[in-house]
Amino acid sequence: MNIHEYQGKELLAKFGINIPAGVAALTVEEAVAAAKTLPGPLYVVKAQIHAGGRGKGKFKELPADAKGGVRLAKSVAEVEANAREMLGNTLVTIQTGDAGKQVNRLYVTDGVDIAAEYYLSMLVDRASGRIAMIVSTEGGMDIEAVAHDTPERITTITIDPATGFMPHHGRAVAFALKLKGELNKQAAKISQQLYTAFTTLDCAMLEINPLVETTDGNLLVLDTKMSFDTNAMFRHKDVEALRDETEEDPMEVEASKYDLAYIKLDGDIGCMVNGAGLAMATMDIIKLNGMFPANFLDVGGGANKEKVTAAFKIILSDPAVKGILVNIFGGIMRCDTIAEGIVAAAREVDLSVPLVVRLEGTNVEAGKAILASSGLPIVAADDLGDAARKIVAEVKQAA
């Protein structure tokens, strides 16, 4: 689960971490009111979308030379003019894809006099089984390019969960950032605070880019991206409440209501599969046959009729889907039960595209018989290869 920059900063501030003052705004009027609560005379108006690269982003509706999603304003009137230009328009950044994201919220924040921009992020590193802190003197710009072109400028420090964050970790961060004196102490302190925030809030990822050194010698969090371990959200109701569903794919939101693991992809063939590994294999074999999956969808081990119906509706609501491939392995859940679910769901949703079903496992013959006698145009397949060939052929024929 992701949250907005301003929400992330508000969470970090509770851990004593330095952030510039700022207020979120949903309307131009709110943006003006927000600016009036800040000292000025320099303000920054920032688009709040769940994507980075806003500063260098472009608004679809504005001329190509218009400013991006992070704008300096030198007066309240300039805040107002910028807010008017940004709200409701679509910001395209390297992280949004071509479609971009509509800007529905702004963050009006204090303008900071920047002396240097650094990079600091943390993530759960599965390879080491630790939390990794990644720091670089090259903040503010595209960190992927730094990692690619000058990897020696990136330092990774891993923290053993058994010891937690130790003073030497803080010193290693400060050393990697080449900071001296008072700033060195601040770097050690802020990395300790960020580690505490990360573990306390069950973050999956926390990225500060940039972490800035101000001209008056302070370290400040100027931008943050935070994501959380969804499985831990039950113990952070306050964080869960920050979820902004308008930032998420509507079909993914619908899927999460039924506990379906669904991810929208760019292809033509909708997939409904039980088990993540089987779903991956199904996507691979569709590609092997020359087409692309329209989604990843794992209905899980305990799929019942309600889940199967919900999954069908989600797949069919995607206008890109030209055919559906159901690939289910009946283990604890028997094939006849699944077949009944598929038939009921296909009737309920008024099937408009070819449907190929491959069932295997317990009671498979009974399951196939239910599909065959349903009167629905369901194409049965014997194995995964057969199923993929059949759905590709069906879709090509229908086209």
Q: How far is the CB of 6 from ligand ADP (least distance, A)?
A: 11
Does 109 participate in binding Mg ion (rule CB under 5 A)?
Answer: no
Nearer to Mg ion, 112 or 233 (CB): 112
Neighbouring residues of 151: CB distance < 8 A, sequence distance ≥ 6: none
Nearer to ligand ADP, 207 or 360 (CB): 207
Q: How far is the CB of 5 from ligand ADP (least distance, A)?
A: 7
What type of residue sits at position 330?
Answer: G
Distance CA 115, CA 112 (A): 9
Nearer to ligand ADP, 212 or 279 (CB): 212
Neighbouring residues of 63: CB distance < 8 A, sequence distance ≥ 6: none
Q: How far is the CB of 149 from ligand ADP (least distance, A)?
A: 18
What type of residue sits at position 377?
Answer: P
Q: Could you tell me how many residues make up the chain?
A: 399
Distances (CA, A) of 72 to 108, 312, 332: 10, 47, 59
Nearer to ligand ADP, 69 or 323 (CB): 69
Q: How far is the CB of 176 from ligand ADP (least distance, A)?
A: 19
Does 209 participate in binding Mg ion (rule CB under 5 A)?
Answer: yes
Vertex 185 angle, CA 170 and 145, to 5°: 60
Q: How far is the CB of 284 from ligand ADP (least distance, A)?
A: 34
In our burial notation (b when 16+ CB lie closer than 10 A, e otherwise), range 181-216 reads eebbebbbbbbbbbbebbeebbbbebbbbbbbbbee
Nearer to ligand ADP, 210 or 293 (CB): 210
207 in catalytic set: yes
280 contact, one of Mg ion, ligand ADP, none, CB 5-8 Å limit per kind: none
**Candidates 23-31, 206-214, 290-298, 306-314; binding stretch for Mg ion (CB under 5 A):** 206-214
Residues that bind ligand ADP (CB under 6 A): 20, 44, 46, 52-55, 70, 109-112, 114, 117, 140, 209-210, 222-223
Neighbouring residues of 230: CB distance < 8 A, sequence distance ≥ 6: 1
341 contact, one of ligand ADP, Mg ion, none, CB 5-8 Å limit per kind: none
Alpha helices in the chain (DSSP H): 5-13, 28-37, 76-86, 143-149, 167-176, 181-200, 237-240, 250-257, 276-288, 305-316, 335-349, 364-372, 384-398
Catalytic residue among 5, 85, 138, 207: 207
Give contact residues for Mg ion (rule: CB under 5 A): 209, 223
Which sequence positions are flagged as catalytic? 119, 207
